[in-house]
Amino acid sequence: MAVAPFAGDVLKLEGEDNLWRRRVGSYRIFFTVDGKARTVAVTAIVRRTSRTY
């Protein structure tokens, strides 16, 4: 994610200004990107299961 934060299965979350979600297997990584400072801040990593829905 340090080189290309928007590569892969990335989706911007609706209703949020700068919050993105990346799907990696059964995990979801929620993060923000600061283009000016060239930083990616991971806000949460959540494991999705059949009980999540």
Residue 5 falls inside a structural domain: no
What pLDDT is stored for residue 34 in this prediction? Answer: 94
The answer to whether 26 touches 49, Cβ cutoff 8 Å, is yes
5-21 b/e (C-beta count within 10 Å ≥ 16 → b):
beeeebeeeeeeeeebb
Q: How many domains does the chain have?
A: 1
Residue 18 falls inside a structural domain: yes
Residue 4 falls inside a structural domain: no
Residue 25 falls inside a structural domain: yes
Residue 52 falls inside a structural domain: no
Residue 43 falls inside a structural domain: yes
pLDDT band at 1 (very low <50, low <70, confident <90, very high): confident
Residue 30 falls inside a structural domain: yes
Which residue is associated with the tokens 């400072």?
37
Q: How many CA atoms lie within 13 A of 38 on its CB side?
A: 3
What pLDDT is stored for residue 53 in this prediction? Answer: 61
Domain span holding position 22:
10-47
Q: Supply 3's token pair.
A: 């080189």
pLDDT in tens, 4-38: 999 999 999 999 999 999 999 999 999 999 989 99
